[in-house]
Every structure is written in C-alpha cells, then in structure tokens.
Amino acid sequence: MTEPVLVSKAPPDSLFELATDQWTEPYWQAAREHRLVWPTCTACGAARELGAPFCHHCLSQDIAWKPLSGRGTLYSYTVVRFPLIEAMNDCVPYVPAVVELEGAGGHRLISNVVGAPLDALRVGAAVEVSWHDRADGVTVARFVLAE
Amino acid sequence: MSISNKTAIVGVGATPYYRRGESHPQTMNEMGCKAIIAAVQDAGLNVRDINGFAYYSGGFDTPALMETLGIPEVRYSAMVTSGGGGSVGAVGLAASAIVAGMADTMVVVFCMQQPAGKRYGSIMSRVEPTPDKAFYTSSGLVGPGHFFAMLARRHMHLYGTRREAFAEVAMSGRLNAMTRPEARFRTELTLEEYFKAPMIADPLCRYDFCLENDIAIAVVLTSAERARDLRQKPVYVMAAEHGGRREWGRAIASMNMPEAYFASGGHASVAQHLYRDAGITPADVDVAEIYDHFSPMVVMQLEDYGFCERGEGGAFVEAGNIRYRGGSIPVNTHGGNLSEAYAVGMTHLREAVEQMRGTAVNQVDGAEIALVTGGPASLPVSGLLLRR
C-alpha cells in the first residue's frame, strides 16, 4: 500500500498582519481587486524593487503600477511539514515558494503554492496566481500549478 | 593602511553553555559581564584596561557594561550593522580601532538568551508588521530555516547537490562534538538516523537546524606589541572583512538575489578581499570554523571561500573533505552550531582562537591559519583570518 499524496494547504492567516506605506499600498489595493501589479520606473522604464521609494537604476521616484499576467515559474520552494508553533497545527503541509513573475524584469515574489500534490512540485514549474480574500479585507496573492 | 597582524586576540571568556531558557534569572547584561571578566582574566588583564567595545547584532549597552564593571573611560563603541552575518566583522572593527590608535584594549562580546515564551526558531512569527516584511510574512515563513530551505532547494536543483551532503555536515560536526566537553550533543549521528529524522521544511530535517542555547562569550583584543607581554599566546588578526555585494543584499528577506548569488552563502566578495588582504589562498587555511545555522549553508560557504568550485560543494563534502580526521580542510572542529551550541557566531570564534593557541580539544596538527565566518544573512556578512 502506498501512502496517499498530500496536497499543499496554506499557512494560517493569523501569522500575517498587513502594514503598508505609500510605496506598497498600491500593490495591496490592486490585490483587493484581484490584479497582480508591479512597480515600474516611468523615467527609465526599469522594473523597480517592490516597496522601494526610488528606482535604483536612475534614482527617480516616478512610478507606475504595471499589470502582470499572473503567470510565473517556481524558482524555489520548501514544504513545511512540521508545525513549529501551535497556529500551524492544522495547516501543514504548506508550501512557501519563491515565484519569478512573468513581466517583472526578473523580480520574484515570496508566496505560497496551494492545492498542489506535493509530488508534482518542481523547480521551474509553471504557476499562476490565485487570490486569497481574507475576512479582514486583505487579499493575498498565492499560486497554483498551471495546467 | 592594512590592519594585518597588528592586533591580537589575547583573551577569551564564556559562560556555561545553557540549554534554551536555562540561563534565567541571570540577565543578558550579567551574562555578558561574566564573559568579559573571564576573558580579561584569561588575558591577564583587568576590566579597567578595557577602553573600547565592538558589537554586532544589536550588541550591548556600553554605559551599562561600564557601570557594572567599573570601567573608567571608553574611547570607542561601535557596532557592525545587521545581524549574525557581522559576527566576526566585529573583531575587524575592534582591530581597526586599535590600529587607528582610537583604543588600546577592545572587547567583542555577545550574549544569546532566549526570552521567555519566544524562541529563535520561530522568531518570524512574532516580528512587528512593517510594509517591507508584508511580502514574506504572509507566506508562513515562521523561522529562518524555512527561508534557507529555499536556498538549499535551488542549490540542489542547479548543481545536483544531495541531502547526503547536508547529512555529512551534520555527522562530521557531531563527531567533533563528541570529544568537546561543552557540546550539547555528544552521541554519534548515523546516516540512517539523519534520514529518519522529522522533516521540518523540505529539504531540511531536524539535524540540519542549529541548536538554541543561552550563552555569552567575549574576546579581548589589543595591539600585537602589547600582546607579546600577556598571559596567553597571541592569536593575530591576519585579515577581517565585513560587507558584501548588493546582489546578495537583504538575501532571505527579499529572495531577489541573481542566479549566481541565490544558491550561495553570499560571502564570495568578502572571501576575495579577505584572502587578498592576508596575502594567502584557500590552500593556506588549516582549519575553518564556518557558520552553520543550517547545514546547506556550510556547503555553499565552502564554495564562496574557494575550498572547491561553485556547485561542487556537495561532492566535496560527501568525499570527506571537511572531517577533522582525514579531511583536506577540517570544519567546525568544536561541533559547530548543529551539535555543540549556538551563540550567533561566537562559538566558532572561540574555537578558532583555541586552534591557534594549540589548545583545542580537536586540535588540528600544526594549524597556523584559521578561517572564521559570520552567518549568511542580510548584509553585512563577515570573514576573519586568524594566525598563530
């Protein structure tokens, strides 16, 4: 008899309390509308660091929030199997992941891959965004394995 | 101006190595002072000789130490920014103050004490919410191991590194800890036991994680000239470096390191400067105390410091090269953070000093040069070369 393949769950909402500033608020506002966006420098056109008040290429503060496709690739991941704290007890296994986003100039988002059979996870796998709307009005971008 | 060989570590002092939480009701200030008193006694000095402090990772309150110990005047008090990455950079800071004539007798002290109800292993579940942290705290990254597991996974993907290599880091450290009286784990660890251990965060199992302890350790530095008249054999600071390249940057706090940096320890540039300043190559290093908060980071730092090529760390380790007996570069001869104890870099420093004095429990025959590294973490990271 083989063991059933586990499917990745999600970390508990209680671990995360959102704080924003003027350089990150537009990202979270777009997330509420289920749009994945990335900061772009309108002076030199480079993709910017998420949350930075300046473009590190040209030091401009001019910014535009460019819509992304929501697709990406799994750059790396871990499978959290052991609940280090009580809040994790009912949530394991879950998969924190580093996702390289299509159209974000090589930038990556730290996120989760949810609903994936653990044996289907691979570095380089195609993923796409899946929105998690929380009771407190915060929306978090998570990812699922793409078809 | 070079600091090379102009200063020496002349004293080392430590509290007992307590299990996590067992050092209470002592305060951090009290433990730090115990380590400082032991270190100056070891050197044959008096606490009143101290006139400078160099810290890292938050450090200590200098006036509190002065008031507690009766130190009359301090001429230098500075800290290497960021966390455990800067541990041995603080030794470089102390050495540079002495060489510049800004202080005569410098102390580097650190205390690790887990606060009641909190532990380092789940520290990220209790961070204050800030706009920058929002991009990772939502992902259930509760402890540092969760982040480093993702660096390890990428290294495995790029280079075919196997869990057997991480096991070898844990097992060889354990073998060294078996003869070290202070070590918290002193029974042999077999490959079978390693693979049977609970998986905390793939690909890291329990034995890939460092221990959690309460410890204070201090070292005392003075000029090379003055060091010759003191009680201990001087251990000279050959070179020290702290910093790193922007590409590594915030490292696990951003996970945006370019490919060449992501699956690394972030120390490559520090290593280059260190060897150049000391005028040596990796082949000249006799013993290496490499910060092992997580076993894969030893593999990656061995690459950063040129003991093998990038991507070959796994095979290098699996071939037995880091063993105290028979290895080409004995690593973590005290048992390291995985088996001896964890004090955010200070146990590695202590062991390197003992190796250079020739008094280590697992003494490397004829060892003349020791490398010590700070933890791969947000910049600055640091490296130190000590010589006999």
Nearest to A84 among B122, B204, B255 (CB): B122
Nearest to A96 among B132, B139, B157 (CB): B139
**What's residue B122's pLDDT?**
81
Q: How far is CA B330 from the centre of its chain?
A: 16
Whether residue B157 and residue A123 make contact (CB cut-off 8 A), yes or no, is yes
Is B18 annotated as catalytic? no
Partners of residue A124 in chain B, C-beta under 8 Å: 157
- Tell me the mean pLDDT in the region A30-42: 98
Q: Does A101 touch chain B (CB under 8 A)?
A: no
**What's residue B151's pLDDT?**
98
Partners of residue B296 in chain A, C-beta under 8 Å: none
Place of tokens 């009701």: B25
Q: Does A108 touch chain B (CB under 8 A)?
A: yes
Segment A85-143, tens digit of pLDDT: 898 999 999 999 999 999 999 999 999 999 999 999 999 999 999 999 999 999 999 99
Q: Does B140 touch chain A (CB under 8 A)?
A: yes
How far CA B194 is from CA of B46, B167, B190, B283, B318, in Å, comes to 46, 6, 6, 31, 14
Q: Does B146 touch chain A (CB under 8 A)?
A: yes
Whether residue A81 and residue B201 make contact (CB cut-off 8 A), yes or no, is yes
Mean pLDDT rounded to a whole number for chain B: 96
| Residue ranges in chain B assigned as alpha helix (H) | 28-43, 62-69, 89-99, 134-137, 144-159, 163-177, 191-196, 224-227, 259-262, 268-278, 295-304, 313-318, 346-357
Is B76 annotated as catalytic? no
Partners of residue B125 in chain A, C-beta under 8 Å: 15, 84-85, 87
Q: What share of chain A is helix, strand, coil (3-state, %, to 5)?
A: 10, 35, 55
Whether residue A98 and residue B157 make contact (CB cut-off 8 A), yes or no, is no
**What's residue B117's pLDDT?**
67
Pairing of strands B106-112, A108-112: unpaired
Q: Does A22 touch chain B (CB under 8 A)?
A: no
Query: What gap in Å lies between CA B323 and CA A10, rounded to an integer?
Result: 40
Q: Does B229 touch chain A (CB under 8 A)?
A: no
Percent share of chain A, pLDDT over 90: 93
Which of B114, B136, B205, B255 to mutate to test binding with chain A, by most A CBs within 10 Å of its CB?
Answer: B255
DSSP B130: -
Percent share of chain B, pLDDT over 70: 99
pLDDT range class, residue A3, cuts 50, 70, 90: low
- Tell me the mean pLDDT in the region B11-17: 98
Q: Does B143 touch chain A (CB under 8 A)?
A: yes
Residue B237 pLDDT > 90:
yes
- Judge if ipTM > 0.90: yes
The radius of gyration computed from the CA coordinates of chain A, to the nearest angstrom, equals 17
Closest-CA residue to B191 (of B159, B160, B169): B169
Whether residue B137 and residue A79 make contact (CB cut-off 8 A), yes or no, is no
Q: Is the peptide bond preceding residue B380 cis, with omega within 30 degrees of 0?
A: yes
Closest-CA residue to A112 (of B309, B142, B380): B142
- Tell me the mean pLDDT in the region B187-214: 97
**What's residue B125's pLDDT?**
77
Q: Does B121 touch chain A (CB under 8 A)?
A: yes
- Tell me the mean pLDDT in the region B245-271: 96
**What's residue B104's pLDDT?**
98
Which residues are CB-neighbours of A133 under 8 A, at least 6 positions away?
A139
Identify the closest residue of chain B to A98 by CA–CA distance. B255
Place of tokens 């007992």: B16
Q: Does A12 touch chain B (CB under 8 A)?
A: yes
**What's residue A1's pLDDT?**
52
Which of B125, B126, B138, B154 to mutate to test binding with chain A, by most A CBs within 10 Å of its CB?
Answer: B138
Whether residue A78 and residue B153 make contact (CB cut-off 8 A), yes or no, is yes
**What's residue B326's pLDDT?**
95
Segment B137-191, tens digit of pLDDT: 999 999 999 999 999 999 999 999 999 999 999 999 999 999 999 999 999 999 9
Segment B292-332, tens digit of pLDDT: 999 999 999 999 999 999 999 999 999 999 999 999 999 99
Identify the closest residue of chain B to A11 by CA–CA distance. B140
Which residues are CB-neighbours of B347 under 8 A, at least 6 positions away?
B17, B215, B217, B334, B336, B337, B340, B341
Q: Does A21 touch chain B (CB under 8 A)?
A: yes
**What's residue A2's pLDDT?**
62
Nearest to B131 among A21, A77, A81 (CB): A21
Q: DSSP string of B14-30?
A: E---EETTTTTTS-HHH
pLDDT range class, residue B121, cuts 50, 70, 90: confident
Identify the closest residue of chain B to A113 by CA–CA distance. B139
Q: Which of B17, B120, B207, B291 is catalytic?
A: B291
